[in-house]
Amino acid sequence: MTGQISRLHAGSDIEKVDDFCYLGSYISHNGSCEKDVRVRIGKATAVFGKMRKIWKNKCISLNVKMRLYEAIVLSTLLYRAEVWPLTATLTKRLNAAHHKWQRSILGISWKDRVTNEEVRVRTGQHSMDDILSERRLRWLGHVKRMDHQRIPRQALHWEVPGFKRVQAVRVQTGGAPSTRNCQGWQSPGRKQRWQLKTNQNGVKVWPNASIWTRVESRPRSSVY
């Protein structure tokens, strides 16, 4: 697809590409964040390498080093991570880089046979999964507090005509559904969801969605 030219109505030409960089973040044609994660890891590695003298300086306390690590390295690595559609493989890459840098700060090599949990205890850092979850929840809080006229707020609850959102359920070992992070769900019984109000002709109010309404939805049959 790269290199193809599409002519606009205004007479200008625009090149079709597989991905492009916008405000420091790569946007792919298929919605994947693989290239963005790869570039972020590379940039964070370069930043970490430039601060190598600080990491090796024994006159600087570990607490100060970790505060610098969070402010400079992690912020570089996790730029726009709140909206990354991460896969298990990409999460493992981020987690591996996170622990690799911590081991380098502590002066621990793989020959020392120190677990990642012990490394995090010494540095006081959280796992990458916890860091990403915290950032996503913080961003969700910002979106929820936005005015209904804001596009991110509208996109949070908007449903594509003809499609329905599937409720994600965490499954524990053995197949039993987990209720973790599910406070406020109405189960069993009729669940409630948010949708755009419709006018008298049955058309959804869009994009002037200043008024939203809560409606009842039919309970889904259990798959367990």
Is residue 179 in some structural domain? Answer: no
Under 8 Å between Cβ of 195 and 215 = yes
Identify the residue with better confidence: 175 or 70: 70
What is the pLDDT, as a whole number, of residue 75?
95
Is residue 163 in some structural domain? Answer: no
Instruction: Tell me, yes or no, whether 116 and 217 share the same domain.
Output: no
Instruction: Tell me, yes or no, whether 136 and 214 share the same domain.
Output: no
At 43 the three-state DSSP class reads helix
pLDDT digits (tens, 9 = 90+) for 31-53: 889 999 999 999 999 999 999 99
**Which of the listed residues 90, 113, 142 is the one where a domain comes to its end?**
142
- The answer to whether residue 153 scores a pLDDT higher than 50 is yes
Is residue 166 in some structural domain? Answer: no
Phi, psi (5° rounding) for residue 132?
Answer: -65, -40
Identify the residue with better confidence: 90 or 202: 90
The answer for residues whose C-beta is within 8 angstroms of residue 135's C-beta and 6 or more apart is 78, 81, 82
Under 8 Å between Cβ of 208 and 195 = no
Is residue 204 in some structural domain? Answer: yes
Residue 216 confidence class, pLDDT cut points 50, 70, 90: very low
Instruction: Tell me, yes or no, whether 136 and 192 share the same domain.
Output: no
Instruction: Round to whole Å and give the CA distance between 203 and 197.
Output: 8
Mean per-residue pLDDT, 187-201: 46
Instruction: Tell me, yes or no, whether 137 and 60 share the same domain.
Output: yes
Phi, psi (5° rounding) for residue 217?
Answer: -120, 150
**Which of the listed residues 142, 167, 202 is the one where a domain comes to its end?**
142
> Per the confidence metrics, is the pTM higher than 0.75?
no
Residues of the domain holding 202:
185-224
Instruction: Tell me, yes or no, whether 125 and 36 share the same domain.
Output: yes
What is the pLDDT, as a whole number, of residue 158?
80
Instruction: Tell me, yes or no, whether 128 and 206 share the same domain.
Output: no
Mean per-residue pLDDT, 54-81: 95
Average per-residue pLDDT in the chain? 77
Which amino acid is present at 222? S
Instruction: Tell me, yes or no, whether 133 and 207 share the same domain.
Output: no
Mean per-residue pLDDT, 25-35: 88
Output DSSP code: residue 214: E
Under 8 Å between Cβ of 76 and 41 = no
Total structural domains within the chain:
2
Instruction: Tell me, yes or no, whether 14 and 68 share the same domain.
Output: yes
In order, the DSSP letters of 85-139 are ---HHHHHHHHHHHHHHHHHHHT--GGG---HHHHHHHHTPPPHHHHHHHHHHHH
